[in-house]
Amino acid sequence: MKQLWWFRFVLFLSFLLTGFAQTTPNTTAIPTQLPGRDAILVGTDWYPEQWPESRWEEDLRLMEAANIKVVRLAEFAWSSMEPSEGHYDFNWLDRAINLAAKHRIASVVGTPTGGPPAWLTQQHPDTLRIDENGRRAVHGNRAHGSVNSPVYRDYCRKIAEAMAVHFGHNPNVVGWQIDNEYGYALMSFDDYTRKQFQDWLQSKYKTLDNLNTLWTSTYWSQTYDRWDQIPIPVGDSNNPGLVLEWRRFVTDTWNDYQKNQIDVIRAHADPRQFVTGNFMGFFDGFDHYKISEPLTFASWDDYVGTGHVDPFSNGLTHDLTRGFKRSNFWVIETQPGAVNWAGVNNFLNRGEVRAMAWQAIAHGADDVSYWQWRSALNGQEEYHGTLVGPDGTPVPLYDEIAQIGREFSSVQDLFRGTTVVSQVALLHSYDSRWAIQFQKHNDKYDDVGLLKSYYTSLRKLTDSVDVISPYAPLDHYKLVVAPDLNVLPKDLADHLLEYVRNGGFLVLGPRSGMKDDSNGLLPQRQPGYLGEALGGRVEQYYALEKDFPLSGAWGDGQVKVWAEQLKTLAPNAEVLMKYGPSNGWLDGKPAAITRTYGKGRITYIGAVLDDKLMATAGEWMIKNSAVTRAPIATPDGVEVSRRSGDGKQVFLLINFTQENRNVTLPRPMKLLLTGKEGSAVNLPPYGVEVFVEGK
């Protein structure tokens, strides 16, 4: 009888496994999509250590009812996991993770190194960060540890390793987040950090003669004859080479700090467990392309703060994050209605949170997680938005999150194996941003604002735009735009020239090709090493006190903030735009020129254009580069997006206005969220619709 029972059990188990294998889709694996789970997820941040264990079951029941599929936890629980040095207590976290799994909720574990415990900072006060004014941080905030301190790094490695040994094979833990919002407080300005920086410079430059030459240190008698003379740049009056190298050193420091934890996690954790870090959009404290390299995928924290979502700004930041590793990403934190840190902590409108969630998915996110589930009853973020109130019952927004969860679950199979595929790329360089911000020359010059102006004009005409490093592969893009590629060394110029020679369409914006790799002026006129191929150059640049007119192939409009006087040097270089009456120097001079080169074309726009001209310039770029336009025309305020893969194309329409919007489809479609079918879509305020072509 026992043998017959065992045979029947094995046969039943085999049937289950066979059935599972037959119903599991054969798709391309994407690291952001969890095998065996939903392809697009709703999550939240849960801090069980802040509540009695008797409360956990009800929290998780409410999460499951809202179709929340993942929780992030433990990233600020160091004192709960290691209450005293070397004494680890993970039992409570085991119970929380296992209870979450009972409610079909996976767990992402955060390393708690953004908030060291009091016993550590009191025993080792040298681990506390020192600010630019020489003041040491005090315990009781966050990010008060010094990432440069070898003692602090040792403790960070130990807690990360202990966690990895304990949770690295837990089937309910799907991934790891390292620290929290890297760079919240960037560096410690102490003697040890200064010595590290000097050693870093010596390793890079090899000799002081080399450094002095590249930094032109004879200026203001800055010449160094010992490495230990080199300071940390503080304030506004520093050598540009010193400033740029400090930013690169900060990048390498944070990368090494991150690696210190990643290495021990990967040594002990299952390969299936991902590793990510939560970034902060256009924060420029370090080069995110380098920081993202060792991660499985990038994540970011999407907060509006005061006001309401700007779909172009928010979409641009999604696309920036997707571009860090040129792959799908997670929104691992976003605001549940309101925040606590803005000038006015207004609540997002009804439906706006849902529109934001679907926009994240449309731009390549596979998870949208809300910070946080329930606010602690005390602490610095008491007023921040939540999904349940201090009494533990749902707040009004809970129902909107539950709607998002239901919708994600209902269509999630369509998104499996899909990603965003773009024909247009915007080049985004941290070196250039740092160089321009240090020497703006016009305090109204906004490098991110300029990037957004190009993005907005192009995104209105296409269903996706990539935002990538200038060194990324470019061969599959029909159009590549570099709004202000200020730092343009020869190796990067060669990379761009190869793209153009092979048939690419390259557009450069103002301030391009001015600086070398050490933040020094190139001996050539702008655009530096690209000038010969352009068949033209910049004669002079001008910071503008007021707007001036310009006109030409893109119509009439205004130049704002910045203008460059261009000159053609090749007979086939074509003038596209000219300045009108202005400061006398610019009158009648070229503002934009273009030239064919190899199989492709280079265009230089030497002015910051107003919105009207930027729109027509975008039309010109799309038409002449043969970029496929968005297949669905949409009215103002409605965004169309597309994700492709696994033999299908998934389209999303999102209305970001507070009015009804109608969209005509090219043919009748089944509308998956409303269940209707037709060739027209009526989108209510903040309305969303999804439809698919292919499978």
- What amino acid positions are annotated as catalytic residues? 181, 333
Residue from 206, 215, 210 nearest 238 by CA: 215
**567 DSSP β-pair partners:** 537
What is the spatial distance between Cα 46 and Cα 376, in angstroms, rounded to a whole number? Answer: 10
> Would you state the structure tokens that stand for residue 344, as one six-digit string?
């006015």
What is the spatial distance between Cα 464 and Cα 287, in angstroms, rounded to a whole number? Answer: 23
> Is the CB of residue 356 less than 8 Å from the CB of residue 310?
no
> Is the CB of residue 253 less than 8 Å from the CB of residue 232?
no
What is the spatial distance between Cα 304 and Cα 82, in angstroms, rounded to a whole number? Answer: 35
Sign of CA dihedral 127, 130, 136, 138: negative
Position 552: which residue type? G
> Is the CB of residue 646 less than 8 Å from the CB of residue 418?
yes
- The torsion of the CA quartet 324, 325, 329, 335, rounded to 10 degrees, works out to -20
Dihedral pair phi/psi, residue 490, rounded to 5°: -65, -40
**Residue 643 DSSP label:** E
Give the 3-state secondary structure of 308-373: CCCHHHHHHHHHHHHHHHCCCEEEEEECCCCCCCCCCCCCCCCCHHHHHHHHHHHCCEEEEEECCC
The burial class, CB within 10 Å (0-12 / 13-18 / 19+), for 139 is middle
> Is the CB of residue 600 less than 8 Å from the CB of residue 396?
no
The burial class, CB within 10 Å (0-12 / 13-18 / 19+), for 150 is exposed
**557 DSSP β-pair partners:** 550
> Is the CB of residue 561 less than 8 Å from the CB of residue 510?
no
Residue from 15, 658, 652 nearest 359 by CA: 652
Strands 299-302 and 590-597: unpaired
